[in-house]
Amino acid sequence: MKKDNPADKPTVFIVDDDEPVRDSLKMLMRSVGLSAETFSGAAEFLEAYDPDRPGCLVLDIRMPGMSGMELQEKLNEIHAILPIIFITGHGDVPMAVKAIQYGAADFIQKPFRDQDLLDRINKAIEQDASNRAQLLETRDIEERLSNLTPREKEVLELIVDGRPNKVIAADLEVSQRTVEIHRARVMDKMRASSLAHLVRMVMRLRNPG
């Protein structure tokens, strides 16, 4: 039997201090083929947290010790991107607003319909996959950019600003031929298939997401 690599398959991480709730959520996930892991508290989850594992976090707000909101803060501090879906039996509007403003993907009140929770979980998992793909792409572009010399970076900035070679040559006080050489190297090192592609890559870094 082929063993799935846990780093690739999305996992629903369930953090709730109430054991029957944890178990029933885990069963619900499994019933639709989602892999799930349960934690009885926020600290326990934090200890096991691996930023490279995709999926989403289903998090109870009120728990003894570290609350769900406190866990969210801690995850924000370490720039975690795992989407959080809060579940609560005693939520209020300000609490929900704060959770979403602090970056939670969703907030759902008990009792909820199983399908409603599953829909939100699937949406969060999709969002996570897309965020991770974007992050990978951004890192890739950053790596290509780090191979440019300071002069090539200057030329890149001017190209992206739409300046023709002639103007770049005058700005940098070099010959047009030199600019052409720099330009060719920039395109090569950035693995840009066209000027539009190059501009898109630089814009991605300027406006992530």
Partner 1 sequence: MDRQTEIPQIGPAVCVIESDPGMNLQLGKLLAYLDSPIIHYQSAESFLAESEGIEVGCILADGDQLGEKSPEFIAQLSQRGLSGATIIIARQANIDDAVKALQQGIADYIEIPQPDRLLLAKIRQVISRTVSASGLRTH
- Dump the DSSP string for 146-169: HTS-HHHHHHHHHHHTT--HHHHH
Cβ neighbours, 10 Å, residue 192: 19
Q: Quick check: 96 binds partner 1 (CB under 8 A)? A: yes
Q: What's the closest the beta carbon of residue 97 comes to partner 1, in angstroms?
A: 5
Rounded least distance, CB 103 to partner 1, Å: 11
Q: Give all strands (DSSP E) within the chain, no chain letters.
A: 11-15, 35-39, 55-60, 84-88, 106-109
Q: Can you count the helices (H) and strands (E) in the chain?
A: 9, 5
d(CA 143, CA 141): 5
CB of 83 to partner 1, least distance (A): 12
Stretch that binds partner 1, among 54-62, 92-100, 137-145, 173-181 (CB under 8 A): 92-100
Residues sharing a CB contact under 8 Å with residue 195, sequence separation 6 or more, in sequence order: 159
When asked if residue 97 is in the footprint of partner 1 (CB under 8 A), the reply is yes
Q: Would you count residue 106 as binding partner 1 (CB under 8 A)?
A: yes
Residue choice 13, 39, 45, 107 for contact with partner 1 (CB under 8 A):
107
Contact between 13 and partner 1 by CB under 8 A: the answer reads no
Contact residues toward partner 1 (CB under 8 A) are: 91-94, 96-97, 100-101, 106-107, 109
